[in-house]
DNA sequence: CCACTTCATTAAGAATTGATTAAGAAATCC
DNA sequence: GGATTTCTTAATCAATTCTTAATGAAGTGG
């Protein structure tokens, strides 16, 4: 039995586009162009994941998200028009599990749907990128407050340094190449520049963490491959 | 087996340029200068990613994109002449996954191709995930963390050594010639060099595993043929 | 047993890769 | 708009890693 995805977006073409893609991937879909009937649907049917637009005429996505959360605990992915940080933080607080900004790439959305479903079904799976608080040994990274501390002592990181560390931490143990890291940090803009600066940022982070390249406690260099962060 | 990239652009030089670059990267290519035969190709062959020009005489790229999407769900990268925001939104809505504006830097396009394929495969290649950890007897190879251990004791392998061992392990029991191993490790660059160094790498691995050539526990030499890894 | 092939071993230098540093761009903040 | 922070670039340096080539040992067939 395929997973059922709920789609709510007042922009008909967008909703239908998502619908098409998810159906092509073998999911069952329930598509609504306004919030109220979507809510009714949730009460009656078994939904595995919801994709909610934030900007909607009758109810805004945040309210809808809250209402859904009162009823169910399946993953929620929010669609937002711009890369609005405030929206992002608010949304995560309200119970959304992931964020996609419009205009989005359909296959990326599909990928995130798959990722969320996988994570939801297997609790032991790696933590999601949107996980607010990541703790690895004495290292704490709070995406919500954008704070970071090592052994209880606050680390003052620049934006790029923070992103880099968060990405490494949320893929704990996994080796990531400079290419992958660049792509994660800068999304699409990265192609216009090289990725040599990753090593510099790594160095700065290590410096602030009091780590040396020869004897790292957290950030390890894997020669010829990339970097990884773990607590071994 | 390399990924196959479909290229459609009525400007012959552009199409051929892209073709050349992608072939140099080891991709298989199908290049067309008009849309119709490209569509036929998609129906018949296994394509992993498409690069479509927007401005074309017979069908415009948007229409082509939609038609492709009705059939397949691999990533699509669109080429646009101007940096037109409206086009971008429209294109993404229609199902393109990325955008490159002309004139573009060939290596940037290549980078985007790689990025899209990586993202797509990450969520669509189940086998890749399950192969992350290979266990043969007391030998453990973790591709994700790039760690390797024998009887619980960590082995510190160089990149090439790791690749070599991983390839042998993932073809457990099968004899592989030096040629095959070279090809697997270095993909296409391998033709530029010989493959005599395989024996040296094998030796280093054996040394680190505490194996001797006369009495190997895992890596066996098959005279006149190659090497194999098993637990007999 | 002897030529011939194939693999093992070794060591050196060539090539690659990451670290480090500093300076100039770019972005951000007041 | 000027000052400050942050980021990127480029050049140099240090280390790791790879390849080559020479020599020796082991298998193979006559």
Q: What is the pLDDT of residues A80-120, one digit of tens each?
A: 765 544 444 444 556 678 878 777 778 888 888 988 888 78
Of all protein residues, which has its CA closest to the C1' atom of C7? B199
Helices B178-186, B197-209: axis angle to 10 degrees equals 90
Q: Which of A12, A21, A26, A108 to mutate to test the interface with B (most CBs of B within 10 A)?
A: A108
The answer, yes or no, to whether residue B192 has pLDDT greater than 70, is no
User: Which residues of chain B make contact with A17, given a CB cutoff of 8 A?
Assistant: 93-95
- Kindly list the strands in the beta sheet with B139-142, ordered across the sheet, starting from the edge strand earlier in the chain: B133-136, B139-142, B147-150, B153-154
Give the pLDDT confidence score for residue A31 in this predicted structure. 95
**Which of B95, B120, B146 is closest, CB to CB, to A17?**
B95
CB-count exposure of residue B176 (10 Å: 0-12, 13-18, 19+): buried
Q: What residue ranges define each of the domains in chain A, with the CATH number in brackets?
A: 4-121 (3.40.50.2300), 133-229 (1.10.10.10)
Mark B109-137 as b/e (b = at least 16 C-beta within 10 Å). bbbbbbbbbebbeebeeeeeeeeeebebe
Give the pLDDT confidence score for residue B66 in this predicted structure. 81
Rg of the Cα trace of chain A?
Answer: 19
For B51, residues 6+ apart whose C-beta sits below 8 A from its C-beta are B5, B6, B7, B8, B9, B18, B76, B77, B78, B79, B109, B113
| CA B123/CA A110 separation, integer angstroms | 9
| CA A185/CA B115 separation, integer angstroms | 13
| CA B62/CA B116 separation, integer angstroms | 19
3-state class percentages of chain B: helix first, strand second, coil last, to nearest 5: 45, 20, 35
Give the pLDDT confidence score for residue A108 in this predicted structure. 82
Give the pLDDT confidence score for residue A124 in this predicted structure. 44
User: Which residues of chain A make contact with B158, given a CB cutoff of 8 A?
Assistant: 223-224
Q: Residue A24's closest chain B neighbor by CA?
A: B73
For B194, residues 6+ apart whose C-beta sits below 8 A from its C-beta are none
Cβ of A186 less than 7 A from strand D: yes
Give the pLDDT confidence score for residue B189 in this predicted structure. 65
Give the pLDDT confidence score for residue B79 in this predicted structure. 86
- CA A30 from chain centre, in angstroms, equals 23
Report the DSSP beta bridge partners of residue A224.
Answer: none
Per-residue pLDDT reduced to its tens digit, A42-61:
999 999 999 998 877 777 77
Q: Looking up tokens 């893609």, which residue turns up?
A: A21
**pTM assigned to the model:** 0.79
Give the pLDDT confidence score for residue B205 in this predicted structure. 93
The answer, yes or no, to whether residue B172 has pLDDT greater than 60, is yes
A139-143, B129-133, B157-161: lowest mean pLDDT where?
Answer: B129-133
C-beta separation of B141 from B165 below 8 A: yes
Neighbours of A181 (CB within 10 A): 22
Q: Which two tokens stand for residue B2?
A: 């390399």
Report the DSSP beta bridge partners of residue B49.
Answer: B5
């Amino acid at each position: 039995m395929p997973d059922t995805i709920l789609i709510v977006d007042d922009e008909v073409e967008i909703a239908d586009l998502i619908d098409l893609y998810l159906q092509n991937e073998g999911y069952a879909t329930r598509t609504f162009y306004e919030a109220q009937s979507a809510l009714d649907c949730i009460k009656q049917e078994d939904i595995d994941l919801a994709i909610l637009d934030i900007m909607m005429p009758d109810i805004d996505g945040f309210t809808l998200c809250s209402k859904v959360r009162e009823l169910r605990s399946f993953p929620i992915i929010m669609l937002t028009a711009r890369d609005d940080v405030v929206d992002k933080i608010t949304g995560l607080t309200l119970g959304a599990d992931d964020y996609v900004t419009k205009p989005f790439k359909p296959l990326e959305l599909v990928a995130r749907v798959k990722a969320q479903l996988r994570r939801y079904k297997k609790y032991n799976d790696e933590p999601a990128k949107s996980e607010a608080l990541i703790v690895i040994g004495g290292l704490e990274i709070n995406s919500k407050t954008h704070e970071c501390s090592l052994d209880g002592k606050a680390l003052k990181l620049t934006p790029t340094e923070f992103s880099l560390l968060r990405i490494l931490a949320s893929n704990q143990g996994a080796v990531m190449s400079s290419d992958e890291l660049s792509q994660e940090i800068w999304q699409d803009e990265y192609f216009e520049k090289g990725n040599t600066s990753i090593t510099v940022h790594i160095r700065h982070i290590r410096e602030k963490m009091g780590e040396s390249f020869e004897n790292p406690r957290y950030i390890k260099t894997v020669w010829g491959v990339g970097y990884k962060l773990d607590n071994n």
